[in-house]
Amino acid sequence: MQINKKIIKWITLIMILFIILLCTGIFSLCVGASGIPLRKIISFFFDKNTGVELSIIFDIRLPRIILGFAIGGALSIAGVILQGMFVNPLVEPYTLGISGGAALGVCLGISFKLTNKFGILSMPVLGILGAGMVIILIYFLNIKRGLFKIYEVLLTGVMISFVSSSFVMLIMAVSGAEDLRGIIFWMMGSLEEPNWLLIKISVLISVIGLLASYSLSISLNALSLGEDNAQHLGINTETTKRLLFLISSILTGLSVSICGMIGFIGLVVPHFSRMLVGNDNRILLICSYLCGAIFLILCDTLARTIIAPLELPVGVITGIFGGSLFVYAITKKRTL
Amino acid sequence: MLEIKNMTCGYDNKFLLKNINFKMNCGERIGIIGPNGSGKTTFMHAMTRLLPPKEGEILFNGKNIWEIKNKDLAKKIAIVTQDSPANFITVEEFVLMGRIPHFENFQFIETKNDIDIAEHAMHLTDVVKFRDKTLNQLSGGERQLVHIACALAQQPILLFLDEPTSHLDITHQVKIMDLIYKLNKELGLSVVMILHDLNLAGEYCEKLILLNNGSMYKNGSPEEVLTYSIIEEVYRTTVIVKENPLSLKPYVFLVSGRGKETAKDFTTGH
């Protein structure tokens, strides 16, 4: 039967996406305010020369590409997980208010100058805590009370976003000029991150997130049949849901705390991946991860070249693209 | 096979089912009937481990079902619910999900054996021809068949069905009930189903459980349960019960408001 065909198809697809990802990465290394030909980049790996171009490649562009890979992938699978759990394609970290919660956490961190006290890692921790609080709130407001109606979940999500962005504004209003600059700078969303430790941690958490959610992919598939049916298939739905909530809040909190508000990736990328591979989470998770990475690297490349030498916040690009694709997506036929 | 001892259960402080005692043997085909709100679905939820009993216990092969692992129970018991929110997956993918309880830890891909079993389930239920269609492209009856196929892929020994024929046309009602009958007779699958239609229940079940207000009103063969006096008492409506000329099972005729007076003569004269 089609078992081998299916696996071959999946592996081919993953390979193709991987190649596209590599090409995107190399393309992104080459273009920018100053174009560097590929030949020269390759020569850097062999010759031990130093120079401005070398520093542009390895200190500016490469970290952004790596971060784009990690964050793009993380946001996409956070979207896939939440959509799978709620069996609704409109759910994602933003529409549920999880990103808003993470943003509030980070803003509190900036205004209380926690980075100075506890080091650079306090940011992701605060982001994850903020996201986690919102998830717990959603869990108790909706799911525990048995309200699983999707419009109620979305409405509470929108309200949570609203409340947390109001709190963010409150913090901005009472904070000093320096903090204000820090918050605005961070919130506009950028893949620029000078700290290699944070980049490494992002990649690590993002890949672990992918592996962890992949190990639950079968349960996620079963959940798409409805909770009762999943339970009848021997899935421990309570535990699975809690784990999935935990994974998605960690991924979202991490992304928001490091790169600011980069919107719509968790919505658009999974949606188009579904069109490409269907709803089987075993392939959808990997596919979305790779597509998200490609999409964010491309958006970032665009953000720093479009009005070079100035730079647009990458959130603007993903927002414009994502927003218009979102409208297209909801007016088109549903696929989940 | 399934034994319920002194079970009381319900939601929060409301007890919907009181003191249920019931024993089911291997290979039986049992129908649960009763008016709306009599506790049929709660009964099903309790037996399929969605709702813990407040008192009493439910034994499956001598073991309390709440002490059996989720996965192990799913290898023995399959449940066909009324519907699922799944819409955009193909019939084949859906049926293959029935193999999930048989997956090893960290197994992600179906084995050849899993696929053969799913294929067999699709043949039994006659849904092979839809295998590449997505569920939203199917009619209600076809969807129901696909749900049964998924349950069969679990290779259960006990099958629960929650109103398998609701909202279906008579062709599909008969097709599905015949299929359930065949599975019971030929494969020895024990079946418990909630049924709304008293005539289908009488025609296809060996044993009926009539629930009323959360307790078991009557438990026995269709001939014992579907009598004029019992139905009038429980459903509070006038009916005429006759014999189906072909199967010799009881058949319940509804009586409209217009015919109430004349119906009295029928029932008393019977």
Q: pLDDT digits over A36-74, tens only? A: 777 777 777 776 666 777 777 778 888 999 999 999 999
Res A1: pLDDT: 47
Q: Can you tell me the mean pLDDT for B23-38?
A: 92
Res B267: pLDDT: 58
Residues B191 and B245 in one domain: no
Residues B166 and B262 in one domain: no
Instruction: Sort A140 into a burial class: Cβ within 10 Å, 0-12 / 13-18 / 19+.
Output: exposed
Residues B74 and B146 in one domain: yes
Nearest residue of A to residue B98 by CA position?
Answer: A233
Residue listed under structure tokens 């890979």: A69
CB contacts < 8 A (A, B)? 83
Q: In degrees to the nearest 10, what's the CA dihedral of B201, B207, B209, B210? A: 50
> Which of A3, A222, A278 is closest, CB to CB, to B112?
A3
Phi, psi at residue B68, to the nearest 5°?
-90, 140
Res A203: pLDDT: 95
Residues B113 and B160 in one domain: yes
pTM of the model: 0.88
Q: What is the nearest CA distance from A215 to chain B, expressed in angstroms?
A: 7
Instruction: Enter the tokens of residue A55.
Output: 């520093």
Residues B211 and B246 in one domain: no
Structural domain containing residue B235: 227-270
Q: pLDDT digits over A64-107, tens only? A: 999 999 999 999 999 999 988 888 777 888 888 888 899 999 88
Answer yes or no: are the C-beta atoms of B132 and B90 closer than 8 Å. yes
Q: At B199, is the pLDDT very low, low, confident or very high (cuts 50, 70, 90)?
A: very high
Res B270: pLDDT: 47
Q: pLDDT digits over B31-86, tens only? A: 999 999 888 988 998 998 888 888 899 999 989 999 999 899 999 999 998 878 88
DSSP letters, B186-233, are HH--EEEEE-S-HHHHHHH-SEEEEEETTEEEEEE-HHHHS-HHHHHH
Res A116: pLDDT: 74
Among A313-317, B64-68, B215-219, the range scoring the smallest mean pLDDT is A313-317
Q: Domain boundary at B225, B241, B259, which?
A: B225
- CA neighbor of A90 nearest in space, from A136, A163, A150: A150
CA dist B240 and A55 (Å) reads 92
CA B171, B172, B178, B181 dihedral sign is negative
Q: pLDDT digits over A227-248, tens only? A: 888 989 999 888 898 899 899 9
Res A275: pLDDT: 84
B-chain residues within 8 Å CB-CB of A228?
50, 79, 81
A336 inside 8 A of chain B by CB? yes
* Start-to-end Cα distance in chain A: 26
Nearest residue of B to residue A2 by CA position?
Answer: B115
Stronger pLDDT, A114 or B194, i.e. the higher one: B194
Q: pLDDT digits over B235-247, tens only? A: 988 888 999 899 8
A-chain residues within 8 Å CB-CB of B94?
225
Among A112-126, A294-308, B46-60, the range scoring the smallest mean pLDDT is A112-126
Identify the CATH number of the domain in which residue B103 sits.
3.40.50.300
Q: pLDDT digits over B174-194, tens only? A: 999 999 999 999 999 999 999
Residues B216 and B246 in one domain: no
Average pLDDT, chain B: 89
Residues B166 and B249 in one domain: no
Among A111-120, A170-179, B3-12, the range scoring the smallest mean pLDDT is A111-120
Q: Can you tell me the mean pLDDT for B102-111?
A: 87
Domain spans, chain A = 3-316
A221 inside 8 A of chain B by CB? yes
Residues B219 and B231 in one domain: no
Res A312: pLDDT: 83
> Which of A2, A218, A233 is closest, CB to CB, to B108?
A218
Res B256: pLDDT: 84
Q: Are strands B14-24 and B2-11 parallel, antiparallel or unpaired?
A: antiparallel
Residues B172 and B239 in one domain: no
CA A92 to chain centre: 10
Q: Can you tell me the mean pLDDT for B120-141?
A: 91
ipTM score for this prediction: 0.87
CATH number given to A3-316: 1.10.3470.10
pLDDT at A153 over 80: no
Q: At B14, is the pLDDT very low, low, confident or very high (cuts 50, 70, 90)?
A: confident
Q: What is the nearest CA distance from A218 to chain B, expressed in angstroms?
A: 7
Domain count, chain B: 2
Residues B259 and B127 in one domain: no
Q: pLDDT digits over A179-215, tens only? A: 888 888 788 778 887 788 889 999 999 999 999 999 9
Res A76: pLDDT: 95
Residues B19 and B146 in one domain: yes
B-chain residues within 8 Å CB-CB of A234?
69-75, 100-101
Among A86-95, A207-216, B9-18, B260-269, the range scoring the smallest mean pLDDT is B260-269
Residues B135 and B248 in one domain: no
